[in-house]
Each structure stands twice: as structure tokens, then as C-alpha cells.
Amino acid sequence: MRKKILGIIAARYSSTRFPGKPLADINGKPMIQHVYERAMKAKSLCGVLIATDDERIFNAAKNFGAEAVMTDSDLPNGTSRCEQAAKFYNENVDAVINIQGDEPLLDPLMIDEVADLLKDSYCATLCSELKEDFENPNIVKVVMSQENFALYFSRSPIPYKRNKNNIKIFQHIGIYGYSLEFLEKYVKLPPAPLSETESLEQLKILENGYKIKIKETGSKIKSLGVDTPEDLEKVREFIKNAAV
């Protein structure tokens, strides 16, 4: 039976590097609206929900016609926000796809790719080949097994190329799929030292002995996540000059 999958965009106002980021204007629309409109084009979702802890984001979402819920402000990360939001949704679902609220160039194909991985896995994500900017700590790198399970994620360049072979280096794309059962289990997992050291919540899954299915996306749209005001300017220019 086909799984019923809910897309959840977790968005908070507070940010160390870029406060108010979800409401940043991109060519006449707040960034969160760009993400929402792209997510709504995915074929695999039964609905899209914005989960936030801030009334400004909640009201903005309502203004452009999105379904939104208020979640607790003290939740540790976006995944926990998604788990709580799923409980507020008015329909029962089998799985959740956590969509990052700072990916205004999101390709709906990526959502459908994660949904496809969830057919036979409880946790899934995506990656793409990284050809430059290997040292940038804001770009998370990932290595995977031959069975397409994630082995490790890092802000450092991995793998280290001691031998000059042609192995690809992959950038993690921050979109996650979870079965609802595993999502409820995930939020109860204890803190994990590697996860806290790298400040990467997905490492907690690996450190606790669970697997993350991963595949290289087929999307041709360049991923331009917004971590800083400088990133925002790049996205504005990209959207202004390209039909995406």
C-alpha cells in the first residue's frame, strides 16, 4: 500500500548567523513562501505543513495560504519540530519528509526521490556531487557505503584523498524522510558526542546504530541554501536571472 507522506517545513525565526531568515524577501516573497510553493509541486505528498515557533512566521504563512502550526520554542532541532507538528496534523500519515526552510531553490523532484527511498527504509536523505568549495564548513559532506547507506557526515572534507583516484566527493542535501514510527523514536534518542561536536543532528542517528538510506539526486537545479545574508544575495540573483 502506498505510504501517506506529509511534507513539513520547519522554520524558526532565531538564527545565530541570520535572524529572521525565513521571512527574508526574495523578489517580492518571503523565503518560506518560495520553499512552500516548490514543496507543493511534489507528487508524493498528501500535504505540506509549516511548523514554526514564531507568530511572525505563522502569520506570514497564513497570509500566503499555507497550513501552519505553532510548536514549542524549546525544541532542540528541526526534526523534533517536525515530530511535534505531525501530531497536530488533521490526518493520519505514515511518514514525514522534513524540508529545510532555507532552501528557496528546492526542486520538488528531490522530495519525490526521498519519498521513493522511504518505500523500503525508515530514514532517507539525498546528496549531490561536490566539485568545489570543499573546505567550506557550511557545506556538509557525506560518505556512503556500496549499499547506499550513509557512513558519516562532516563539515570537514571527506574522504581525504591520499591516493589521487577519481572517487566522487558528495555534498549532503538537507532533506530527510522518516517513517512516523522512526521519527517518534528519533526524538527520544540520547545526545551523541559526534553529533554535538559537528553540530549535525543526523549523526545522532548513526551514532545510535540506525541506518540512513541515501542516493545521489537526479535534480539538475543547483542547491543554494541560505545560511548567510551573502547567500541570500546569490539566491536573489539566481531567481531574478533564471526560470527555476
Q: Which grid coordinates are listed for 86?
A: 505531525
Least confident of 33-37, 106-110, 221-225: 221-225
CB 138 within 8 A of CB 227: yes
Name which of 100, 84, 30 is nearest 62 in CA terms: 30
Residues 183-223 pLDDT 10s: 999 999 998 999 999 999 999 999 999 999 999 999 988 77
* Statement: residue 91 has pLDDT above 90: no
Residues 160-181 pLDDT 10s: 888 877 889 999 999 999 999 9
Q: What does the alpha-carbon distance between residue 180 and residue 158 come to, in Å, rounded to a whole number?
A: 31
For residue 171, which phi and psi values (nearest 5 degrees)?
-95, 135
Name which of 186, 203, 173, 201 is nearest 77 in CA terms: 201
Q: What is the DSSP string of 59-127?
A: HHHHHTT-EEEE--TT-SSHHHHHHHHHHHSSS--SEEEEEETT-TT--HHHHHHHHHHTTS-SEEEEE
- Which of helix, strand or coil describes residue 82? helix
Q: Which grid coordinates are listed for 186?
A: 528519533
| Count of other CB atoms within 10 angstroms of residue 243 | 4
Comparing 13 with 118, the larger pLDDT belongs to 118
Structure confidence at residue 243 (pLDDT): 53
Structure confidence at residue 2 (pLDDT): 64
What mean pLDDT value characterizes the chain? 92
DSSP 1: -
Residues 37-80 pLDDT 10s: 999 999 999 999 999 999 999 999 999 999 999 999 888 888 99
- What single-letter amino acid sits at 91? E
- Which of helix, strand or coil describes residue 45? strand
Structure confidence at residue 16 (pLDDT): 66
Under the banding of pLDDT at 50, 70 and 90, the label for residue 122 is: very high
Task: Tell me the pTM.
Answer: 0.91
List Cα–Cα distances, 107 to 19, 37, 131, 208, in angstroms: 25, 11, 20, 31
